[in-house]
Amino acid sequence: MIERADDDAFDALALEVFAHQYARNAPYRSFCDRRGLTPDRIDQWRRIPAVPTSAFKVAELTCRPGEPAALFLTSGTTQGMERRGRHPVADLALPHAAILSNAQTHLFPDLPLSEGRRMLILSLTPPPSERPRSSLIHMIDLLMRRWGTGESRFLGASDGLDGEALRQSLCRTAAGERPVALFGTTAAFARWFDECAARGWREALPPGSRVMDTGGRKGVEGLRPPALRAMDHRDTFLSSCERFLGLPSHAVVNEYGMTELGSQFYDDHFAAVTTGKNPLGVKIVPPWVRVRVIDPATGEEVPDGAPGLLCHYDLANLHSVMAVRTDDLGMKPPGVPDGLHLLGRAAGSEPRGCSLDPSTALLTPR
Amino acid sequence: MTPVHQLGALQACHLPPRLLATRPLRSVRSVRHGPVVIEMVDEEPAYYRLLADHLRAAHASIAPQLTDDHVIELLVQAARLWRDPAHPRRQLALSVLPALTGYAPAMIEEGLDHRLAQLTPERLGRLAEDAADRLADQGRWLQGPPVILLVVAGHIPGLVIDDLAAVLLARSACVIRPSARDPIIPACFVRTLAELDPRVGELLAVAWWPREAEAISAAVGGAVDGVAASGDDATIADLARQAARIIGYGHRRSVALIGAEALTDAGALAARMARDVCWYEQLGCLSPHAVYVEEGGSTTARAFAEQVAVALGDETSHWPPSTIPIEAASAILHLRAEVEFRHAGGAALFTPFGQADRLAGGAALYDPDPAPRPSPGYRTLWVKPVARLETALEALMPWRGRIESIGLALSEKRLIELQPLIDRLTPSRQTPIGTMQEPPLRWRLLDQGLLMQLAAWTETPSDARF
């Protein structure tokens, strides 16, 4: 793994990876050719052409056509019945290294892999056997195998979360004073908190317990208003974690990841507090990833502190496409080179004929 | 014209002078929108109820005095004033609206002039006669309810002029809630009308309040006899909850059809198509999202898509493109990439300047799949080849009832053949390509039905005629 500050090393690797992908990934090569951006004409990573995530829905973006080691599919739930994106991963070694290194830093800073210490991990998601194409569940399964005790398990199922089983597990955990790591989508937690409120459940998890939530607005269908509030307002979500699980806010780590990327981004606060540092209140870009925040109208990078669309350059995507342009809105905090603020999603809906909401149009400076 | 940043605060409201004399405004709200500062009414819900009461009383005394001929003459005089390039209110509107809407100045000016050109004695007279005839068949008179609320969308600057023509021909009193994107033309045009006939100034009010101000919306909605609203479906659903009667012009789209026989001068046709696409940045319901091109003519659909892209580029010098909001820009980028990556299936992306990642100028998305897809707007047009236009009209059936207008380039013979299939889609308008954004006033008032609907709201038609 390369060091964060080593831009030259990143640049060299990125250009090498780009040459590799240009040579072996035919759809990507066509994309680059149409822009006249070929390896011989590019001398730094910022100019490597980035494919929008929508390309994963219509093209097989791989350097090794044939049976991949894993094929991950996007959930396809955020915009209804649209086609699902496909990310074939030819070799899992690099993505796994990225997952483990990142998780070591941000989720398990107190459990060095070298020491072999483990903790109870409970996942609110279904198991990999039920969702073999989910990159999130694949990641959680990997984390469970590396850091989880034998009792660790998946409590979700296709028809929802086994709330009673989760509650009993948490009761035992609380009684035994062993910390627990809870993983799941933000929506699943919000739904669980809704159930806790309805049934009057609450636990005080032992110190050292933690939550990793992810997923933005995926899975919000059918959520009742209190749960939706927890989804939409981070403070409400954190309050629910404190109220129903007894967890301080620094022990709740939001992960930002996507099917199309091998790497993830985590809130910095759990690792910072655990290791006695001051949290910066940002998501951390791993050393093997770079992010450009771009103005979509021009494709140019915006200054630090200005919002734009996130464009990721992830070396863990060795055999697919390293440079991926998302419709996630974000911002680079000034003065924090490896920091990132996630601002939401540029929904990109069709303009409504004769429609823009007049009140919002007025209040939004152009 | 005065530079927009030197204009100072602009009043975007009009209240009946007699109401103001008895109950002056307690406060106004100043809102900055880019370089423009706009002053709007800032009152409690009770004030709006008072306003509606005033309009109702004014209607009872003034509306019976207004003949059709007088209303027509009033509209014609107002339009004549506004068509003068030196008219101060026109100049004010044209100086402010580019900043408020993002549209090119020439685009706004041409759109405004098109609307004003509709207000001639001949056109208005014929329109009033036709409306009266149609209503007579229903046992009704050309006359609306006493007080209505008119909610105007902001994508089409000056659309309020059409609506005001309907309101005045129906001799209703009216509260106009303008869009924040175009609060100037409603206030200024109403002031012109009020100066020409102070009685009319007592029948009209222009006041903006935020959508979140539900108490005001409820107060106004409950005090008027009906609401006519253009806007997104959510806005109209909100208003429908608050008003007894509503005419809602919600979210609709337009498409275009080109017969093989019409491709003899494809370059000129592409230029006309591009003009329809660029006008109002595809944000209005008359904007085409897709054009279906019949193969077998002297130009292929694919070549036509290329020509449209070139024509879109040509339009940028006449109508420089708006700044694209980040959400739309993101959607456009993703759609372009999707089309690019589907090139094996025959799809192709054509951009005016050959730069796939620069959005300014727009794009033609050539796509052999006939299934319609909405455009993200901002000069992005689907170009779909079909062996026969019948295929296109069949493919469009999922959009049935949501298509506002169909632009056509067809021989008369083909049109007759296709008309039954076109009718199944229930568009409110069909028109030659190149005129999609220039509907006649009678379309808004009669075919879309604003004037007819206002007349239908009159409670007791046979007794209520003035």
> pLDDT digit string (tens) for B8-61?
677 788 999 999 999 988 888 887 877 788 888 888 999 999 999 999 999 999
- CB interface of A with B, residues 152-211, below 8 Å: none
Do A182 and A245 contact (CB within 8 A), yes or no? yes
What CA–CA distance (Å, rounded) separates B404 from B426?
A: 8
pLDDT at A76: 63
The mean per-residue pLDDT over the stretch A158-182 comes to 86
A356 occurs within a structural domain: no
Is B115 exposed, middle or buried (CB count within 10 Å of its CB: 0-12, 13-18, 19+)?
buried
Say yes or no: A30 and A135 in one domain. no
Question: Is there a single domain that holds both residue A152 and residue A242?
Answer: yes
Asked if residue A61 and residue A168 are part of one domain, the reply reads no
The C-alpha atoms of residue B86 and residue B52 are separated, in whole angstroms, by 35
Does the domain at B253-435 match CATH 3.30.499.10? Answer given as no
Q: Hunting for tokens 């964060």 — which residue is that?
A: A4
Average pLDDT over residues A79-91: 75
Is residue B367 predicted with pLDDT exceeding 50? Answer: yes
Average the pLDDT over each of A298-307, B188-197, B304-313 and give the range with the smallest value. A298-307
Please name the amino acid found at residue A5: A
| pLDDT confidence band for A361 (50 / 70 / 90) | very low
Q: Identify how many contiguous H helices and E strands chain B contains and give both numbers.
A: 18, 15
B210 CB near a chain A CB, below 8 Å? yes
Residue A185, strand partner residues: A214
For residues A23 and A40, membership in a common domain is answered with yes
Q: Is the pLDDT of residue A365 over 50?
A: no
A173 in the same domain as A142: yes
Instruction: Say whether pLDDT at B427 is over 80.
Output: yes
The string of pLDDT tens digits covering residues B390-417 is 999 999 999 999 999 999 999 999 999 9
- Structural domain total, chain A: 2
Q: Are B248 and B267 in contact (CB under 8 A)?
A: no
Give the integer Cα–Cα distance in Å for B144 and B71. 14
Residue A236 and residue A97 share a domain: yes
B323 touches chain A (CB under 8 A): yes
Q: How many CA atoms lie within 13 A of B416 on its CB side?
A: 3
> Residue A271 to residues A31, A104, A114, B438: CA-CA distances in angstroms?
39, 9, 17, 61
Q: Between these two residues, A305 and B209, which has the higher pLDDT value?
A: A305
A161 belongs to a structural domain: yes
Query: Does residue A306 sit at the B interface (CB-CB below 8 Å)?
Result: no
Question: In the prediction, which pLDDT does B66 show?
Answer: 95
Percent of chain B exceeding pLDDT 70 equals 95
Q: Which helix (H) or strand (E) holds A290?
A: strand A289-294
Parallel, antiparallel or unpaired: strands A156-157 and A160-161: antiparallel
pLDDT in tens, B105-145: 999 999 999 999 999 999 999 999 999 999 888 888 888 99
Q: Across all residues in chain A, what is the average pLDDT?
A: 86
pLDDT score of A30 more than 60: yes
ipTM for the complex shown: 0.79
A353 within domain boundaries: no
Mark yes or no for CB contact B208/A299 under 8 Å: no
Tell me which chain A residue has its CA closest to the CA of residue B33.
A365
The answer to whether B335 faces chain A, any CB pair under 8 Å, is: yes
Query: What pLDDT is stored for residue A173 in this prediction?
Result: 84
- Does any domain span residue A315? yes
Please tell me the predicted confidence (pLDDT) of residue B2: 65
3-state DSSP assignment of residue A99: helix
Residue-level pLDDT at A7: 84
pLDDT higher than threshold 80 for residue B235: no
User: Is A354 close to B285, i.e. CB distance below 8 A?
Assistant: yes
What is the model's pTM? 0.86
Q: What is the per-residue pLDDT across A212-243, written as a single tens digit (0 to 9) for each? A: 999 765 555 565 666 666 566 788 899 999 99
As given in the structure block, the two tokens for residue B444 are: 């808004």
Q: Any chain A CB within 8 A of the CB of B304? A: no
A54 and A13, same domain (yes or no): yes
Q: Name the residue range of residue A80's domain.
A: 7-91+280-345
Q: pLDDT of B211-233, one tens digit each?
A: 788 889 889 988 999 988 877 76
Chain A residues in contact with B323 by the CB 8 A cut-off are: 297, 366
What are the tokens at A9? 């090393």
B14 DSSP assignment: B
The minimal CB distance from B180 to the residues A35, A346, A361 is found for A361
CATH number at residue A26: 3.40.50.12780
A125 and A79 share a domain? no
* Residue A225: CATH number of its domain: 3.40.50
Q: Which residue of A has its CA nearest to B373?
A: A350
pLDDT in tens, A288-333: 999 999 998 888 899 999 999 999 999 999 999 999 999 899 999 9
| Higher pLDDT among residues B252 and A147, named by residue | A147
What would the two tokens of residue A351 be? Answer: 């303009």
pLDDT grade, residue A169 (50/70/90)? Answer: confident
User: What 3-state class would DSSP assign to A283?
Assistant: strand
Q: Do A128 and A202 have their domain in common?
A: yes
CB-based contact A355 B330, cutoff 8 Å: no
Least confident of A1-15, A164-178, B139-153, B170-184: A1-15
- Find, among B253, B229, B220, B249, the residue nearest to B399 by Cα: B253
- Per-residue pLDDT reduced to its tens digit, B432-449: 999 999 999 999 898 888
Q: Per CATH, the architecture of B4-251+443-456 is what?
A: 3-Layer(aba) Sandwich (3.40)
Comparing CB atoms, the residue among A53, A347, A350 nearest residue B374 is: A350
Give mean pLDDT, residues B353-382: 92
Q: Does A293 touch chain B (CB under 8 A)?
A: no
